[in-house]
Structure 1
Amino acid sequence: MTLTELLDALNAGHTITGNSPLHHVMHETSQDALRVTGELNGGYHPPARVRELIAELVGGAVDESVTVFPPFHADFGKNITIGKRVFINSGCKFQDQGGITIGDDCLIGHNTVLATLNHDLEPSRRADLHPAPIRIGRNVWIGANATILPGVTIGDNAVVAAAAVVTKDVPADTVVVGSPARAVRAVAG
């Protein structure tokens, strides 16, 4: 099995069975992510070097307008897409196996967690993984300590308040707060 085959399965939403060949490829890929994030988080790096390390982590180009403040953690790395003029503050954790897409002009607050995998509820199948992507639109602001769960899409210009737990899609131009997050008002335009 290859990384390409794993990404195809993850992006199609297929269950990754515990201890399967695809599960093993996922764990091997995670070792590379741990190596890169270890270097990233092991000391000071100028912004250009941070972007180089993030590009190595995701396996593709990262625009020079992107800013990431370490520490930053990703336990897979190869299923993240970052737009232009994105700011990711320190302490963020991305579980990206299911796919994370961040649109242009987004602000991601301290200690935000983006989680794209669920384990199976059946105890005998608990090692099985169910991927679902997180899609963050353009110009989204996610406050500190927010958690975005698998399968969530956040619409353009939305605001996720600090410490919110987002369990379902957020419409464009909407402010959500709480756990579980609920809409409280529209974004003034």
Structure 2
Amino acid sequence: MKLLTAFKRHLFITVGNTLPTYGPFNRLRASMFRKAGMAIGRDVTIIGPLNLELSLNEETIRGISIGDNVYLNAQTRLACRNSRISIGDDVQVGPRVSFETATHGIVFEPEIGRGTDHQEIRVGNKVWIGAGATILPGVTIHEAAVVAAGSVVTRDVPAHTLVGGVPARKIRDIERPAHRHGAIA
């Protein structure tokens, strides 16, 4: 039974990743990943392929949570072994963005090596992550923050903040939209 479940998971991921990368297939891809066991919300667009941690074990797949109205551009990587990646609602992720939940120590110890540490990544609602950014273990990107293209995010990003660079640093605060009472259409 366990082997059949694993085969089904791999089959749905493989089919999802081989679908053409245009039009209705981008919504169908999310459906395939949902059938593989991922928690994926409504109206999610995934411009595949979606690069997942290689084992595709149940723990890895169930560790990924994607909210409603999310857009994942081509070649998004979700490396989620022994941890979690949660992406909120209304999030936009550019192409080649990498979410990495594992890291190693910098000291090599005989018979142990560098060891591996796994830490969750959380992305709040209304976040935009630019092309080629890398999000490292333990990071939380709070609501309506923006990560500039090519950035390496090593620490938490406050809400309504633009960060960029390697390592990513605050560039500026993002103004919140003013409420429009009685606006004329």
Write out aligned runs for 1:122-141 (5 A): 122-123=108-109, 124-126=111-113, 128-141=115-128
1:187 is the counterpart of 2:174: yes
SS in 2 for 1:125: coil
Whose Rg is larger?
2
Alignment pair present for 1:89 and 2:82: no
| Alignment RMSD | 2.4
CA shift, 1:139, in A, is 0.3
Q: Which has the higher contact order (CA 8 A, sep 6+)?
A: 1
Equivalent residue, structure 2, for 1:67: 45
Matched, 1:159 2:146: yes
Question: What is the one-letter code of the residue matched to 1:110?
Answer: P
Q: Show CA shifts across 1:15-50 (max 9, x none).
A: xxxxxxxxxxxxxx7x87655433222232724431
Q: Say yes or no: does 1:55 pair with 2:42.
A: no
Q: Distance in 2 between matches of 1:61 and 1:37?
A: 13
Q: Percent identity?
A: 34
Tell me the TM-score normalized by structure 2: 0.78
1:46-105 per-position Cα deviation (integer Å, ceiling 9, x unaligned): 244312222134x24422311111111111322011111111001111101221010111
Letter of the aligned partner of 1:181 in structure 2?
A: A
2:18 to 42, 50, 53: 42
* 1:143 equivalenced with 2:130 (yes/no): yes
Q: Conserved in 2, the CA contact under 8 Å of 1:156 and 1:173?
A: yes
Uncovered stretches (5+) of structure 2, i.e. residues with no partner: 54-59, 177-185
In structure 2, the residue matched to 1:116 is 101
Whether the 8 Å contact between 2:38 and 2:64 is mirrored in structure 1 is no
Change (3 A) 1:127 1:175: same
**TM-score, normalised via structure 1 length:** 0.76
Q: Secondary structure at the match of 2:61?
A: coil
How many aligned positions are there?
161
Aligned letter for 2:19? G
Does the Cα contact within 8 Å between 1:37 and 1:73 map onto a contact in 2? no
- Conservation of the 8 A alpha-carbon contact between 2:101 and 2:137: yes
Which structure is higher in helix share? 1
> Is residue 144–residue 161 contact of structure 2 (8 Å, CA) maintained in 1?
yes
